[in-house]
Chain A
Amino acid sequence: QALLQESGPGLVKPSETLSLTCSVSGVSFGTQIRAWVRQPPGQGLEWIGYIYSSGSTSYNPSLRSRVSMSMDPTKNQFSLKLTSVTSADTAVYFCARLNSNHVDFWGQGTLVTVSS
């Protein structure tokens, strides 16, 4: 059974850096793509970006200046960093596997609140 599990602080102060890790078990990523998606409270789903198995990345243009993604295949983990956060970054963050051009596996999501 595929399992993607997000982990990281649930509370981040404004202007600081949000860091999350996704741990993967039960599914191989192979050449599939690792992705991050978020959902602010009361709003819809928003792509953050994705990272290929080669390590190259593609980010949502609206977040590009603040986002970075990395991965450690030896640990079956990949990570998200979002710098200079504000309250607008408060959201449930999901890690996911992109299969071709759609998501076939999702993490359960983790709520990150930006507040002092």
Chain B
Amino acid sequence: SYVVTQPPSVSVAPGQTATISCGGYNIGHIGVHWYQKKSGQAPVLVVHDNTDRPSGIPDRISGSSSEDTATLTIRGVEAGDEADYYCQVWDTSDDQPVFGGGTTLSVL
């Protein structure tokens, strides 16, 4: 089954840029989706299909991908961005979604 790998944590100062990676074999060739998960709340889709933002998601949040890594970038980080971020892909071999382990974003 397909495995996606995320760093456990990322820390940035307010106003700086946070980058959260999601690694997987040839991940640049499949759709990657990103969710923001705050404690006690439901996840929120922030990027789908590598680069598309749902309505209501600010453009300081963006997604990109290359050969084996997808990246979620948050510019001008605010205290309200503190959350866990999960990437997700579709494993066609199992016909199942797969989540990364999640990355905790801390705003210093």
User: Residues on A close to B: CB < 8 A?
Assistant: 35, 39, 44-47, 58, 60-61, 94, 98, 101-104, 106-109
Contacts of A46 in B (CB 8 A): 99
Residues 86-108 of B, flagged 1 when their CB comes within 8 A of A and 0 if not, give 10101000111111111000000
Q: How many residue pairs between the two chains, A and B, have CB atoms under 8 Å in the bound complex?
A: 54
Q: Which residues of B line the A interface, CB within 8 A? A: 1, 31, 33, 35, 37, 41-45, 48-49, 54, 84, 86, 88, 90, 94-102
With A45-B37, A58-B96 as contacts: A102 and B45 at CB distance below 8 Å: yes
- Offer 6 A-B interface pairs, CB within 8 angstroms, sorted by A: A44-B99, A61-B96, A94-B42, A101-B90, A103-B35, A106-B43
Nearest A residue to B84 by beta-carbon distance?
A44
Does A102 contact B31, Cβ atoms closer than 8 Å?
Answer: yes
Residue of A nearest to B45 (CB): A104
Chain B residue with Cβ nearest A58: B95
Q: State whether B96 touches A60 (Cβ < 8 A).
A: yes
CA gap between A47 and B35 in the complex, in Å: 14
**Which among B84, B90, B94 is the interface contact of A61 at CB below 8 angstroms?**
B94
The chain B residue sitting closest to A98, CB to CB, is: B97
Residues of B within 8 A of A109 (CB): 42
How many angstroms between the C-alpha atoms of A39 and B99 in the bound complex?
11
* A110 vs chain B, min Cβ distance (A): 11
Are B48 and A102 touching (Cβ within 8 A)?
A: yes
Q: How far is the CA of A29 from the CA of B1 in the complex (A)?
A: 28
Residue contact A103 to B102, C-beta cutoff 8 Å: no
> Given the known A-B contacts A45-B37, A61-B94, are A102 and B88 also in contact in the complex, defined by CB atoms under 8 Å?
yes
Give chain A residues whose Cβ lies under 8 Å from the Cβ of B33: 101-103
Question: Among the listed A60, A98, A101, A103, which residue makes an inter-chain contact with B43, where contact means beta carbons less than 8 Å apart?
Answer: A103
